[in-house]
């Protein structure tokens, strides 16, 4: 993984903790949450305060995420809001933490100026023994305070102040006054500078979890279903109308279309569909060429065309389907009939602009693993797992491409590929068969003019 780390494609945007004061605060919070401490004096943390260096030291990469549920967090700075979430077990966790930090930014800024804030994403269960247990998770509540209990103390002080203002004999209650003065030394003036953190709850209707080999749950749609990355027989019965695995391509395609979750890239407004599809074809060529021990260092589009011709007989059906669609879009070629059973089908889709767009793009990325760019952008956990198994030449090419093409303008590329970069996965506070047969599986699509 050293190439990814060197280019900032893995462990990128982490927050460095290297001052004695911050290390001491981190240790105080760590002991408060887990009863453990680190001997390191220099490490990095993600949005939740998890540190890969500390995890390695403790021999426990889940030291803040026991059993993968009820994730704990340590906040040293509000800058953690822009950091990634490592070892994510639920797709909604990062967005919940990000919203919590942003909604309480001024309060957290004041609190972290003097202490670490420790907390937990609490749901209604303490462990997941079987896949069906996931459906008992209905909401997530954020609970947080400083290690010295500043928020709780401020709340109690506020109650004492109310008593002092309303009770007739409060002016003569020396014990009440002394208690308020003692608390005020810890919290400061809560009347002028409140330190109350907003109570935040988030619904958990649609999410991905890494548990049980990977599982996508869609409860908050018109036609609910669960989609299993592995064998659904091993998952067993789930309390949801339908369960599919990746082998049931037509059923998944029907689910996505019935719930209006996807659109064809060729139908996407403002997208250069042919360029996007060609890049997907290039990554497929890279996979084939790397398996044949071809030299890919510094390879560009022209080099990949040469390699594609050289190994044309080895190119999978997905490549040929995409090539036919590009010919239709660019050269007025015949319309290619690509059904949901065709290996190219899911490569031609992207999520529509809706609150669960990132979740749907995660699913599409995992179903189209030869598109290394989409896999990296949309589903890093699966990307890193796949990367470890790639030939060295493919690793080098993909890292070079991502560094050269993606790192320079992440938001721009996401917008070009998905068209709605501002749409993030749902972490919401509680609160035509005849036409298809006529024009193809994506409906009426205008040609590029």
Cα-to-chain-centroid distance, residue 75: 19
Sort strands 225-228 and 243-245 into parallel, antiparallel or unpaired: parallel
pLDDT confidence of residue 444? 33
Rounded-to-integer distance, Cα 253 and Cα 338, Å: 12
Query: Three-state SS for 121?
Result: strand
User: Residue 165: exposed, middle, or buried by beta-carbon count in 10 A (0-12, 13-18, 19+)?
Assistant: exposed
The kind and range of the H/E element at 388 are none
Task: Check whether 216 has a pLDDT greater than 80.
Answer: yes
Q: Which of these ranges, 124-133, 157-166, 280-289, 383-392, has the smallest mean pLDDT? A: 157-166
Beta bridge partners of 120: 72, 143
Phi and psi based region of residue 237 (left: phi greater than 0; alpha: psi -120 to 50; beta: remaining): beta
Task: Check whether 433 has a pLDDT greater than 60.
Answer: no
Whole-number Cα distances in Å, 146 to 14, 15, 121, 122, 377: 22, 19, 15, 17, 34
Task: Check whether 223 has a pLDDT greater than 60.
Answer: yes
Q: Which of these ranges, 34-43, 192-201, 293-302, has the smallest mean pLDDT? A: 192-201
Q: Using 50, 70 and 90 to split pLDDT, how confident is the model at 298? A: confident
pLDDT tens string 155-170 = 655 555 566 567 676 6
DSSP 446: P
Rounded-to-integer distance, Cα 393 and Cα 214, Å: 28
User: Residue 413: exposed, middle, or buried by beta-carbon count in 10 A (0-12, 13-18, 19+)?
Assistant: middle
Rounded-to-integer distance, Cα 304 and Cα 285, Å: 7
Q: Using 50, 70 and 90 to split pLDDT, how confident is the model at 231? A: very high
User: Residue 117: exposed, middle, or buried by beta-carbon count in 10 A (0-12, 13-18, 19+)?
Assistant: buried
Torsion of CA 18, 24, 29, 30, to 10 degrees: 70
> At which residue do the structure tokens 């896949």 appear?
131
Q: Among residues of the chain, what percentage have pLDDT more than 70?
A: 84
Tell me the whole-structure pTM to 2 decimals: 0.84
Task: Check whether 411 has a pLDDT greater than 80.
Answer: yes
Contact 96, 47 (CB under 8 A): no
Task: Check whether 25 has a pLDDT greater than 80.
Answer: yes
Query: Is the dihedral angle over the CA atoms 378, 125, 35, 61 positive or is it negative?
Result: negative
pLDDT tens string 61-96 = 999 998 888 899 999 999 999 999 999 999 999 999
End-to-end CA distance of the chain: 43
Averaged confidence pLDDT in the chain: 86
Sort strands 349-351 and 206-209 into parallel, antiparallel or unpaired: unpaired
Beta bridge partners of 143: 120
Task: Check whether 153 has a pLDDT greater than 50.
Answer: yes
Rounded-to-integer distance, Cα 22 and Cα 7, Å: 27
pLDDT tens string 333-358 = 788 889 999 999 999 999 999 999 99
DSSP 189-238: -TTTS--PPPPEEEE-SEEEE-GGG-EEEE-SSSS-EEEESS-HHHH---
pLDDT tens string 94-105 = 999 999 999 999
pLDDT confidence of residue 423? 43
Show the CA angle centred on residue 359, arms to residues 376 and 247, nearest 5°. Answer: 85
The kind and range of the H/E element at 253 are helix 249-258
Task: Check whether 413 has a pLDDT greater than 70.
Answer: yes
DSSP 323-353: HHHHHHHHH--PPP---TTSTTGGGGEEE-S
> At which residue do the structure tokens 């990128």 appear?
12
């Amino acid at each position: 993984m050293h190439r990814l780390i060197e280019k900032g494609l893995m462990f990128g945007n982490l927050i460095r903790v290297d001052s004695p004061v911050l290390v001491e605060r981190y240790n105080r919070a760590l002991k408060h949450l887990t009863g453990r401490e680190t001997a390191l004096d220099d490490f990095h943390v993600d949005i939740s305060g998890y540190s890969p260096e500390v995890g390695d030291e403790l021999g426990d990469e889940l030291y803040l995420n026991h059993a993968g549920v009820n994730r704990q967090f340590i906040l040293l700075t509000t800058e953690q809001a822009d950091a990634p979430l490592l070892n994510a077990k639920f797709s909604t966790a990062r967005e919940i933490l990000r919203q919590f930090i942003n909604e309480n930014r001024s309060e957290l800024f004041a609190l972290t100026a003097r202490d670490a804030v420790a907390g937990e994403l609490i749901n209604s269960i303490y462990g997941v023994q079987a896949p069906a247990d996931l459906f008992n998770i209905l909401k997530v509540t954020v609970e947080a305070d400083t290690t010295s209990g500043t928020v709780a103390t401020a709340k109690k002080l506020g109650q004492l102040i109310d008593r002092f203002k309303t009770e007739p004999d409060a002016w003569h209650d020396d014990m009440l006054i002394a208690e308020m003065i003692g608390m005020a030394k810890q919290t400061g003036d809560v009347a002028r500078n409140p330190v109350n953190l907003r109570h935040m709850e988030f619904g958990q209707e649609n999410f991905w979890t890494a548990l049980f080999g990977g599982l996508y749950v869609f409860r908050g749609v018109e036609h609910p279903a669960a989609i299993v990355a592995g064998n659904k027989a091993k998952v067993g019965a789930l309390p949801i109308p339908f369960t599919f695995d990746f082998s049931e391509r037509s059923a998944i395609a029907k689910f996505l279309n019935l719930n209006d979750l996807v659109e064809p890239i060729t139908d996407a407004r403002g997208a250069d569909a042919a360029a996007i599809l060609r890049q997907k074809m290039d990554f497929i060529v890279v996979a084939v060429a790397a398996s044949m021990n071809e030299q890919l260092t510094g390879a560009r589009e022209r080099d990949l065309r040469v390699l594609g011709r050289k190994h044309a007989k080895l190119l999978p059906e997905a490549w040929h389907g995409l090539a036919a669609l590009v010919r239709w879009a660019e050269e007025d070629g015949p319309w290619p009939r690509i059904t949901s059973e065709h290996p190219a089908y899911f490569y031609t889709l992207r999520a529509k602009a809706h609150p669960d767009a990132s979740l749907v793009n995660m699913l599409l990325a995992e179903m189209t693993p030869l598109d290394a760019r989409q896999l990296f952008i949309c589903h890093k956990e699966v990307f890193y797992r796949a990367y470890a198994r790639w030939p060295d030449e493919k690793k080098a090419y993909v890292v070079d491409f991502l560094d050269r093409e993606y790192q320079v303008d992440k938001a721009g590329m996401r917008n070009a590929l998905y068209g709605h970069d501002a749409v993030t996965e749902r972490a919401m506070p509680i609160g035509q068969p005849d036409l298809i047969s006529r024009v193809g599986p994506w409906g009426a699509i205008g040609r590029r003019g």
